[in-house]
């Protein structure tokens, strides 16, 4: 153990831990399951002390940022830590590059807004994605042809067993479409405490994806792209503060070229994009064409402006949503032979439940 925390500080942190706290306001689906133990980490030192405490009692740890990519389906055993590590620091590297080091609890959109106002290129297409900076690499957030991996230099992590803090090069994080090692071999063992973004003072804009160039005037500015992304997202996606949701509920499925040819013959208007030698299908189109858009089911439903988003009108538990998910997956599979994979992370994770059962 290398936590190195003074007894008085550890005691103060321990006193801040609460029991049996509802997580309704800590997940954007607003499901009202409880955390067995609950604490907020405002500093790296308090995060270390919380991990040390959980290790001492052999409790599993779950970190939550903004709760905008979660599907909580039961009470969470062990310690739930809400990440509120704050701070941001920019360094001009000379030439065209600025590095922006940001603590993991900062709001992602505020960072995008800050960078755009400074005139720094690289993350403008990722505007208005809810949640924290620390969760952004977990699923390698992406929108309008840009992913965080495109601008990420390094990720700072804390080892949950030892308390060691170190930097990992972005190339070693296993980034892929909505995926990284943080969802697999590093899940619950390495928590992200900061990220280092590499931005450009003079850069090119990515306008090819999602029809941005069709709406923009020729040669748009950085600020115009940012504002358009915000406007399009505002029109298309429900604001979780007004209507509970976790954004896209399913990933866009990836199919082989042969399967794509076959599907295109049967469904000529199907929306798809070439993707790393295969094809990515627009899951929203598949669900929409299967007749689900706007459908409601026992307190939950499919958003009427974007079929990829499932919404919670009134439920405290996730049962109806899980049933709706199964029905949508079955109907899309029957129609197209394609299995839709869920995007939000289900909590408690199986590992945490198994830990407690042993």
Question: What residues act catalytically?
Answer: 178, 248, 343
The total number of residues shown for the chain amounts to 358
C-beta of 155: minimal distance to ligand FAD in Å? 9
- Per-residue burial over 30-62, b = 16 or more CB atoms within 10 Å of its CB, e = otherwise: bbbbbbbbbbbbeebbbbbbbbbbbbeeebbbb
Residues that bind ligand FAD (CB under 6 A): 28, 62-70, 83, 104, 129-132, 134-136, 138-139, 141-143, 182, 191-192, 237, 240, 245-247, 345
Q: Among residues 120 and 344, whose Cβ is nearest to ligand FAD? A: 344
Phi, psi of 238 (to 5 degrees): -75, 140
Q: Among residues 78 and 130, whose Cβ is nearest to ligand FAD? A: 130
What is the C-alpha to C-alpha distance for residues 212 and 228, in angstroms, rounded to an integer? 8
Q: 277 Cβ partners below 8 Å, 6+ apart?
A: 257
C-beta of 144: minimal distance to ligand FAD in Å? 8
Q: 20 Cβ partners below 8 Å, 6+ apart?
A: 34, 35, 36
Q: Among residues 77 and 263, whose Cβ is nearest to ligand FAD? A: 77
- State the DSSP H helix or E strand holding residue 15, giving kind and residue range, or none if neither: helix 7-15
C-beta of 338: minimal distance to ligand FAD in Å? 20
Q: Among residues 263 and 310, whose Cβ is nearest to ligand FAD? A: 310
Burial of 358 (0-12, 13-18, 19+ CB in 10 A): exposed
Q: Among residues 132 and 289, whose Cβ is nearest to ligand FAD? A: 132
Q: Among residues 143 and 307, whose Cβ is nearest to ligand FAD? A: 143
C-beta of 50: minimal distance to ligand FAD in Å? 13
What's 75's DSSP letter?
P
Which pairing describes strands 345-347 and 70-72: parallel, antiparallel, or unpaired?
parallel
What's 344's DSSP letter?
S
Q: 170 Cβ partners below 8 Å, 6+ apart?
A: 137, 149, 152, 153, 154, 155
Task: Examine residue 348 and say whether the peptide bond preceding it is cis (omega within 30 degrees of 0).
Answer: yes
C-beta of 284: minimal distance to ligand FAD in Å? 12
C-beta of 139: minimal distance to ligand FAD in Å? 5
Maximum distance among all Cα pairs of the chain, rounded to whole angstroms = 69
Count of Cβ atoms closer than 10 Å to residue 107 Cβ: 16
């Amino acid at each position: 153990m290398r936590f190195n925390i003074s007894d008085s500080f550890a005691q103060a942190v321990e006193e801040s831990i609460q029991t049996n706290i509802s997580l309704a306001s800590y997940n954007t689906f607003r499901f009202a399951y409880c955390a067995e133990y609950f604490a907020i980490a405002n500093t790296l030192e308090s995060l270390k002390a919380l991990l040390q405490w959980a290790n001492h009692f052999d409790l599993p740890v779950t970190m939550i940022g903004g709760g905008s990519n979660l599907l909580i389906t039961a009470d969470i055993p062990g310690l739930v830590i809400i990440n509120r590590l704050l701070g941001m620091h920019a360094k001009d590297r000379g030439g065209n590059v600025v590095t922006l080091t940001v603590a993991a609890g900062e709001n992602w959109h505020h960072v995008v807004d800050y960078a755009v106002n400074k005139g720094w290129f690289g993350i403008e297409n990722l505007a208005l994605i809810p949640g924290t900076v620390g969760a952004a690499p977990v699923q390698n957030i992406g929108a309008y042809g840009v992913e965080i991996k495109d601008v990420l230099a390094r990720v700072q992590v804390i080892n949950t067993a030892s308390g060691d803090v170190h930097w990992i090069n972005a190339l070693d994080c296993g980034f892929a479409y909505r995926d990284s090692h943080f969802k697999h071999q590093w899940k619950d063992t390495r928590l992200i405490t900061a990220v280092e973004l590499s931005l450009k003072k003079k850069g090119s804009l990515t306008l090819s994806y999602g029809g941005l160039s069709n709406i923009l005037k020729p040669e748009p500015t950085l600020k115009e792209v940012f504002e358009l992304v915000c406007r399009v997202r505002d029109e298309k996606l429900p604001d979780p503060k007004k209507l509970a949701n976790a954004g896209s509920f399913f990933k866009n499925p990836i199919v082989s070229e042969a399967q794509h040819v076959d599907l295109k013959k049967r469904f000529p208007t199907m929306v798809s994009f070439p993707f790393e030698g295969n094809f990515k299908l627009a899951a929203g189109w598949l669900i929409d064409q299967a007749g689900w858009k706007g459908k409601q089911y026992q307190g939950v439903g499919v958003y009427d402006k974007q079929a990829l988003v499932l919404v919670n009108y009134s439920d405290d538990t996730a049962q109806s949503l899980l049933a709706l998910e199964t029905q949508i997956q079955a109907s899309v599979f029957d129609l197209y032979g394609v299995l839709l994979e869920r995007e939000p992370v289900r909590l408690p994770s199986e590992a945490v439940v198994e830990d407690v059962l042993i």
